[in-house]
Every structure is written in structure tokens, then in C-alpha cells.
A and B are shown apart, each in its own frame.
Chain A
Amino acid sequence: LAKTTQPISMDSYEGQEVNITCSHNNIATNDYITWYQQFPSQGPRFIIQGYKTKVTNEVASLFIPADRKSSTLSLPRVSLSDTAVYYCLVGGYGGATNKLIFGTGTLLAVQP
């Protein structure tokens, strides 16, 4: 089981770039890395997913080093509405026998 470790909380200001790192030392070969955003009382929302190197979409970038033992979610120019809990999730999805265990998440607080 790939356990994940993230900082409990981070502070930022509007317009800044935010990087949240997740450690997953015992990631398996068939595991993907996925990041989610969760607002209070809402379901986690998919942000980005990757397997190795760098992935970019319209809202974020995901950096994964060659050894895949960590990953970094990069949020460019955050706004107040980006204040939320961010989770990284590591696992082999689909039909595989797996328990997709979430870590504690990182509470990002964006200030004006």
C-alpha cells in the first residue's frame, strides 16, 4: 500500500504560485498519482493525474521525478477560491484489488 505524506497546511497570497509536495516512497510500478481538491461538505474534485515526468492541464501542473517517490502539484497564480484541502492519491485504479487510501491532505489558505 502506497502511503502518502503531505504538509498539513500551507499559506499563500493571491497571485502567487503554490507548490504542494507529496511523498510516496513505496509507490508500486502500476500506481498512478492523482491530486484532488476538496471544499467543505463537497466531494473531492479531480485536478490532475500523472505517471511520470510532467503533466500540465488548464488548472495545474504535476511534476514527478524519475524515481516517482514524490510528486509536486503546482498551482499558478492562486486566488481566494483556491482555498481548499488538496489530497494526493496513489494507486492502481480500475479492476485491480486495491484500497485507495487518502492521506491527511494539505489545507491551502490563500489570503488577499
Chain B
Amino acid sequence: DSGVTQTPKHLITATGQRVTLRCSPRSGDLSVYWYQQSLDQGLQFLIHYYNGEERAKGNILERFSAQQFPDLHSELNLSSLELGDSALYFCASSGSTVSGNTIYFGEGSWLTVV
């Protein structure tokens, strides 16, 4: 158990809909990263937040947005969903005195768009 919690674990939704994925980082971790992994594909970096502020953006679509709240949990919002958005979405965290320079991943949220 990495200590990073993601909900929901599985989600099935229709095209055009909007979903929110939630991430609770490891205790004390200030950084949260979001990644997308499509079937048989690599890990695509989406966005990085540090202590509530956006620090870096990857290939994140304009239909996607994220935020990190004062309690350090993060949400990834996916809107106007398309079939191609079906993927595993991972959250990772780092930055506490315990985690230090290591990022730890959650088990992911499986999104299926039908």
C-alpha cells in the first residue's frame, strides 16, 4: 500500500458526460501528480500541483482540469468525455519529510467511456 488513495476505482460513463476523479496523497505530501495510461500505452504526464498551486502541465487536454485543495487532496475533472478518454488515471504524491524525493503512485481510477 503506497498510501495514495484514489476514488473511484472503476467508473463507466457515456460520451459527453463529465466525471471527477479524486486523490488523497500520502500524509504530509505536498505535491500531487496526475498521469493517464491508455491500454498498452505508457504513462502520460498530465499535471503537477504543489501545495495548492499548479507547477507544471503536460499534455493535458483543455477539456480536463485539476485542482488541489487546502487539505492537499486533488481532483481531476474530465468533461465532454470521448471514447478515447477511456484509460487508467493515476495520481502520485511526494514531498513530505517521509516521502522526500520519491513519488508514490495510487492504484488508479479505471475510466471507461461508452
Say whether A and B bind each other: yes
By a beta-carbon cutoff of 8 Å, the part of chain A in contact with chain B is 32, 34, 36, 41-46, 49, 87, 89, 92-105
Closest to B46 in A: A99
> In which size bucket is the chain B interface?
20 to 34
A45 and B105 alpha carbons, distance in the complex (Å): 7
B51 to chain A, nearest CB (A): 7
B110 to chain A, nearest CB (A): 8
Partner of B102, one of A49, A103, A104: A49
Known A45-B105, A46-B104; contact A94-B31, beta-carbon cutoff 8 A? yes
Instruction: Pull 23 A–B residue pairs with CB atoms less than 8 Å apart, ordered by A.
Output: A34-B103, A42-B107, A42-B108, A43-B108, A44-B43, A44-B90, A46-B2, A46-B103, A49-B101, A49-B102, A89-B103, A93-B31, A93-B102, A93-B103, A94-B101, A95-B50, A97-B56, A98-B55, A99-B45, A100-B45, A100-B103, A101-B58, A105-B42
Interface residues of B in 88-114 (CB under 8 A from A): 88, 90, 92, 94-95, 100-108, 110
B55 to chain A, nearest CB (A): 5
Number of A-B contacts (CB under 8 A): 78
Check if B22 is an interface residue, CB within 8 A of chain A: no
Contacts of B45 in A (CB 8 A): 99-102
Contacts of B73 in A (CB 8 A): none
* A interface, over-half SS: loop
A43 to B94, Cβ gap below 8 A?
no
B62 to chain A, nearest CB (A): 18
Contacts of A45 in B (CB 8 A): 2, 105
